Amino acid sequence: MLNFNERILMTHMTLSRPFLRMRELIGAALFLTLLLAISPSVLAQAQATGTIEGVVKDENGAVLAGAKITVRNAGTNMARELVSDESGRYRAPQLQPGNYEITAELSGFSRLAVSGTTVVVGSTATVDLTLRVASVEEKITITSEAPITEPERHEHTSIVSETAVTNLPINGRRWDNFVLLTPGVNMDGNFGLVSYRGISGLYNNNTIDGADNNQAFFSEARGRTRVVYTISQSAVKEFQVGLSNFSAEFGRAAGGTVNAVTKSGTNDFHGEGFYFVRDDVWNAREPFQPPFVVLPDGTQRKAEERRQQFGLSLSGPFIKDKLFYFANYDQQIRNFPYFVAPFSPTFFSQPCTAPGCDATIRFFNSESRFVSRKGHNNVVLYKMDWAINSKNTLTGSYNWHRWRSPNGIRTQAVISNAESDNGFDGVKTDFLNFRLSSILSNTIVNEARFQFGRDFEFQRPNSAGPGTSVSGGINFGMPNFLPRPAFPDEKRFQWVDNLSIVRGSHSFKVGVDINYVRDLQINLFNGGGVYSYASLNAIASDCPPGAAGCVPLAGARRRYSSYTQAFDLRGFTGDKAGRVFFTTTDYNFFAQDTYKVHPHLTLNYGVRYEYQDLPQPEAGNPAFPQTTRFNQDKNNFGPRIGLAWDIGGGHKTVVRSGYGIYFGRTSNSAVSSALTNNGRVIASFFFTPTTAGAPEYPNVLTAPPSGPGSAPDIQFFSEDYVRPIVHMAELVIEREVVNNLSVSASYIFSRAQRLPSFRDTNLNQPTQTVVYILPDGSVSPAFPFFTGPRPISGVGRIIISESVVNSNYHGFVLQVKRRMRGGLQFNANYTVAKALDDGQTSQTFFGGNQLFNTFDRRSEYGPSNFDIRQRFVTSFIWEPRLGGLDNRVARGLLNGWRFSGIVTTSTGIPRTGSISGSVSSATGATVTATTNGSGGDNRTPFFQRNSFRGTGLATVDFRLGRDIRIAEGKRIEVIWEGFNIFNRTNFSTFSTTQFRVASSQVGADGVRRVTLTQDTGFLRPTAASTTLFGPREFQLAIKFHW
C-alpha cells in the first residue's frame, strides 16, 4: 500500500502523462515541416526603420570606391544617394520598411539596377553589387533579395512579417500575440502577459513606430492585456521580437522587446474593408461551464456569446511622391458571459456543522450562474508621411482608442467571483507621435521623435463594501481593489534623438531617449473593507448577507480569519479617497558601433546608460526613515557586445554570439504603494477576530481605529533598493540548407539579479517550531513557528521591498524557417529550457509577506513560476499556384486558395501546494491566519515550491481563405478560421489546496502540532480557458481589397 507521499508523487506523474500525447503531435508537426522543406515544388522555388548595406565589386572581385548608389523606395519614390567608400562599402540606415530598388553607377561600368530588396523593421538587408565593364553605355537590371541568414545580424531576434500578420489565424486579432510564435517565449499567467527567458512579463518593452507603447504604472503594453487591442491588426505592417543580446539602442527591458511599425501610404491608392463574426452556435463549450442557461420560464439555451469585429483601412497619396496618408478604423462588439463556480471542486463537500449551512449553500448556489459581460472596442489610427524635400521626411500619427466593458474587470470564462464582486471596466487612450528624419550628408542621418499622449483607465464596482473572500468558495461583495476613478490617468511625454554616422568600416550610432510620465491614481485599496473566511463552515457560522433564512451561530459574527480596511488619513473621501499624483522621468543614453572587422566578420559593441528618476515622498513617516526618501539608482551602465561571423563569406552559414547587461524598470504602481502606504497618507488596518476593536461581520469601520490593536501596515523600499539587472549571453549557428530555407541551433543564457521581493519585517525571530501531522499519521520535519506580539508595536505588518531575488535560465532552441517564396512560408521552433529562482513573481504594487519564513530565503529556491521545460511552435502559410492548367475555369477554381495554421504545444506550468485554514490563537501565533504564525506564504513547507505541475498545452489553429477576383486590382477574400480546432481541453487553473487544517495545539514539549486532512481536489482542474487559449471556436470573415 502506498504511503501518503508516494500517493502525491503518483498524482504528479498522472497529471504529466497527457504530454506523452503531445510528443506525438510534435513529431507529426516536425515531419510536416520537414516534408514541406524538401518537397520538389519547394526546391523549384526599437527602431521603426531598417538598413540596406553591401559591397560594390567588379567581376574579378576587386572592391570599387566612388560608385554612386541610389536607394529608392518603390512605393513612394523617396530616394537616398550614397557613395561607396575605399573598401567598396555602402550603408543606408534608417530606411522606412518596404520594397526598394538599388542602382549603382561608376564611370566605365554598366549601370546596375537591383529590384526586389525588402527592408524589414530593425533588420539589415545585405545586398552586394557586382558591376561589369561596358564598352558602350548599357543598363543591367536584376532581381535580388537579402540572404535569409542575415549575415550582419548579431542579436537573437525574430521578424513577424507582414505576410504572417495578415494571413495567420489569431484569436481576438490582437497583433502582439504573434509574439508567441517565437522561441524562448512563454505565457506569464492566464491574462496575456508574456515571459522571455524565464523573466516576468512586467519587464518587457513594447514600441510602435519607434515610440514607447508601454504603460509605466502597470509595466504592460498600453491598454494592458485585458483590452482587445489599441492598434488594429490591419494597421500593423510587421514587427521585430528581441529575445536576447539586442544592441545598446534598445533598453528598459530585462525581458524581451517588441518593435512594431505601422503601415504607411504610397503612390498607389489601396483599401481594405473587413468583417469578422464569431457565434456560440459554432463554438464548443468551456468544460467547466454548464451546457445550458436556465431561463425564468424553465427553458434552456446555450449562453449567448457573439463577437463582431469590423473596420476599414485606406491609404494613398495626397500629393504624388510628396505627401501620403494611411487611415484605419476598427471596432469590436462582443458579448461573452462568464460562469461563476467555487474555486475548489470540493467546496460544497467539506464538513459544515453551523446552523446556517443549508442557507449558506443555497446562497452560493444562487450565485453560481451565468453572468452577462460585454466588451466593446473602438480604435482609430491616422498617419501621414511628408517628404519635405530630398533631405527631410516628417511622419505624424494619431491613435485614438476607447474600451467599455460592463462586468469586464474579470475576464476569464469561469471564475469564483459573484456578480457583486465585479464591475465596469473602461479605457481611453489618445496618442500623437511625430518623427523627423534628416539626411545631413551622404554618411550622416539624424532621427528625432516626439510623443505625447494619455492613457486613462477607470473601474466602477457593482456593489458597495464590504467584500467577502471565502477560501475555495465564491467571493462576493465589492472587490477589495474598487472603486478606481483613475487607475491610472497617465500622461506621457517622450523625446528621442538618434544620430547615425558611417565612417569607413564603422557605423556609429548615438542617441538619447527621455520619457517623462505623470501618473494620477485614485484608488483606496481595501477601502470598502474585506473579510476573509477559511472554510464553508466559518462563513456559514456568520451568515453571508443575502442568505435567506440563515441564522448565525450563537456568539458568532467573528468567525472570519481576518478583516482588512484602509483609510485615507488626509480626509479624502468618495472619488478622492486614495488620490496620489507623482511623476517619473527616465533618462536613457546609448552609443554603439557596428564595425566591419573583416568582410566576413561584423562586431557590434556599445554601452547604454539608464536612470529612472523616482519621486521623493512629500509626507513620509518620521518613525520609519525609509518612507521619507527613495534610493536613486544611478549606476546602471549596460555594456553590450555581439558578433556575426559569415563563415566562408557566402552568406550560407552564420555564427552569432554576444553578451550584454540589461535593466528592468521599477513599475510606477510600486512607487505609488511606497508613497501612500506609510501610515501617514493611507493606513491599512488588519484585524483578527480577537483583535481589540475588530468589527462584527458584515459591519465596516466608519473611521480609522485608534484603540489598542489598531495597527496600520507600513510599506517602503529598502534603503539599497535598485532596479533589476539581467546578464544575457547567446551562441547561435544558422545554415541556409536550400534557397530561402535555414536551420539554426541556439543556446540562450540569462541570469537575473536584484529582482524585487516583499516580506514582513515586523516579526520576532522564531524560537518555536511547528510540525504537521499528515493524513497517514506520519509527521513532517519541524519548521519555524512565529510567536508573540510584533516587536514594533503600534503598527501591523512592515512590508519591505528588497532587490534580492535571483534567477537562472538555460535554453536550447532548434529552429527551421522558410520565407514566403513560391506560395509557401513556414517557421518551426522547439525550445528546451530550465528556469530556477528563489521567489520571482509578476507583482505590481507591493505584495504581502511572500515568504514562508521571512528570515530564510533559501527555502524558496526551486523551479520558477515561468519554468516551462519544453515548447514547440510551428506556423505555415501555403498558397497553391497551379499555373500549368490549360483550362481557364479549372485555374479559377483551383487557384486563389490560402491555407495557414499554427500548432502550439508545451509542458505544464509549475504549481505549489498550499494549506487552507488557520491555527488556534491558543498556539500563541503572531498571525493565526497561517499555519506557521507568520502571515506569509501558506504553501506546504515539506514540499519544494513549484514541485507540482499541471497538464500541458496543445492547440491547433487553422485558417482557410479564398480570393475571388472581381476586377483589376480588386478582390474579395472569404475566410473561415478555427482556434483549437480539435477541441483539446487545455486546463488553465488548478486547485492548489493540498491540505486543510483539522486542528492545532501546543504539545507539552512546546512544539506546535497542526493536524492536516488531505484535500481530495488538489491539482484538480477548475478552468480550461485563458485570454488566448480556450475551447474550440470558429469565425467567419470577409474582406474587400482594392
Task: Give 740-780 pLDDT, tens digit per residue.
Answer: 999 999 999 999 999 999 999 999 999 999 999 999 999 99
* Most confidently predicted of 145-154, 251-260, 530-539, 554-563: 530-539
**The pLDDT value given to residue 139:** 59
Task: Give 346-377 pLDDT, tens digit per residue.
Answer: 899 899 999 999 999 999 999 998 899 999 99
Residues 6+ apart with CB under 8 A from 980: 955, 956, 957, 986, 1029, 1030, 1031, 1032, 1033
Q: Is the pLDDT of residue 515 over 70?
A: yes
**The pLDDT value given to residue 371:** 93
In angstroms, the CA 331 to CA 764 distance is 57
Task: Give 203-238 pLDDT, tens digit per residue.
Answer: 999 999 999 999 999 999 888 877 789 999 999 999
Quick one: which H or E segment has residue 785?
strand 783-785
Quick one: which H or E segment has residue 670?
helix 668-676
In angstroms, the CA 36 to CA 30 distance is 10
What is the chain's mean pLDDT, rounded? 89
**The pLDDT value given to residue 837:** 96
Quick one: which H or E segment has residue 737?
strand 725-738
How many other β-carbons are positioned within 10 Å of the β-carbon of residue 385? Answer: 24
Among 107, 67, 68, 63, smallest CA distance to 87 is for 63
Q: Is the pLDDT of residue 299 over 90?
A: no
Q: Which residue has the higher pLDDT, 656 or 571?
A: 656
**Contact by Cβ (8 Å): 894, 882:** yes
Mean pLDDT of 479-505: 94
Taking every pair of Cα atoms in the chain, the longest distance, rounded to a whole number of angstroms, is: 110
**The pLDDT value given to residue 937:** 86
Q: What is the CATH number of domain 50-143?
A: 2.60.40.1120
Residues 6+ apart with CB under 8 A from 154: 245, 247, 602, 603, 604, 642, 643, 644, 656, 657, 658
Q: Is the pLDDT of residue 17 over 50?
A: no
Residues 6+ apart with CB under 8 A from 967: none
DSSP for 176-213 reads GGGGGGSTTEEEETTTTEEEETTB-GGG-EEEETTEE-
SS3 per-residue string spanning 970-1000: EEEEEEEEEECCCCCCCCCEECCEEEEEEEE
Distances (CA, A) of 42 to 28, 66, 175, 822: 19, 40, 28, 7
Q: Which neighbouring-strand residues pair with 397?
A: 383, 433
Q: Is the pLDDT of residue 12 over 90?
A: no
In angstroms, the CA 937 to CA 914 distance is 8
Alpha helices in 827-932 (DSSP H): 888-894
Burial class (CB in 10 A: 0-12, 13-18, 19+), 792: middle
Residue 22 three-state SS: helix
In angstroms, the CA 255 to CA 752 distance is 10
Q: Is the pLDDT of residue 653 over 70?
A: yes
The confidence band for 5, taking pLDDT boundaries of 50, 70 and 90, is very low
How far is residue 585 CA from its own chain's centroid? Answer: 23
Quick one: which H or E segment has residue 594?
strand 579-598
Residue 463 three-state SS: coil
Cα angle for residues 695, 700, 702 (degrees, 5° grid)? 110
**Contact by Cβ (8 Å): 688, 928:** yes
Among 614, 1008, 946, 444, smallest CA distance to 782 is for 1008
pTM over 0.75: yes
Residue 512 three-state SS: strand
Q: Which neighbouring-strand residues pair with 731?
A: 657, 747
In this structure, what are the phi and psi dihedrals at residue 42, rounded to the nearest 5 degrees?
Answer: -75, -45
- And the C-alpha cell for 391? 533631405
In this structure, what are the phi and psi dihedrals at residue 581, rounded to the nearest 5 degrees?
Answer: -125, 135
Q: Which neighbouring-strand residues pair with 835?
A: 809
Q: Identify residue 874 by its one-letter amino acid code.
A: T
**The pLDDT value given to residue 708:** 58
What percent of the chain is modeled with pLDDT above 90?
A: 65
Q: Is the pLDDT of residue 18 over 80?
A: no
Mean pLDDT of 37-47: 40
CA atoms within 13 A on the CB side of 738: 16
Residue 679 three-state SS: coil
In this structure, what are the phi and psi dihedrals at residue 139, rounded to the nearest 5 degrees?
Answer: -125, 130
Domain positions in the chain are 50-143
**The pLDDT value given to residue 908:** 92
**The pLDDT value given to residue 848:** 81
- Strand 111-119 to 139-143 pairing: parallel
In angstroms, the CA 994 to CA 1018 distance is 5
Residues 6+ apart with CB under 8 A from 1002: 922, 923, 924, 1008, 1009
- Number of residues assigned to the chain: 1042
Task: Give 135-159 pLDDT, tens digit per residue.
Answer: 555 556 666 678 888 888 888 888 8
The confidence band for 4, taking pLDDT boundaries of 50, 70 and 90, is very low
* Residue 886 Rama label (left phi>0; alpha psi -120 to 50; beta): alpha
**Contact by Cβ (8 Å): 1002, 925:** no
Q: Is the pLDDT of residue 21 over 70?
A: no
In angstroms, the CA 167 to CA 960 distance is 10
Q: E strands, 213-269, where?
A: 214-215, 220-221, 236-244, 257-262
Burial class (CB in 10 A: 0-12, 13-18, 19+), 920: middle
The confidence band for 862, taking pLDDT boundaries of 50, 70 and 90, is very high
Mean pLDDT of 71-89: 91
Q: Is the pLDDT of residue 39 over 50?
A: no
Block residue for cell numbers 519607434: 210
| Cα four-point dihedral sign 547, 550, 553, 557 | positive
Verify cis geometry, omega within 30 degrees of 0, for the bond prior to 317.
no
**The pLDDT value given to residue 261:** 92
Mean pLDDT of 63-75: 92
In angstroms, the CA 888 to CA 891 distance is 5
Residue 8 three-state SS: helix
In angstroms, the CA 374 to CA 426 distance is 11
Torsion of CA 141, 146, 147, 150, to 10 degrees: 160
- And the C-alpha cell for 917? 485554514
**The pLDDT value given to residue 121:** 87
Between helix 18-38 and helix 4-16 the angle, nearest 10°, is 30
Residues 6+ apart with CB under 8 A from 623: 679
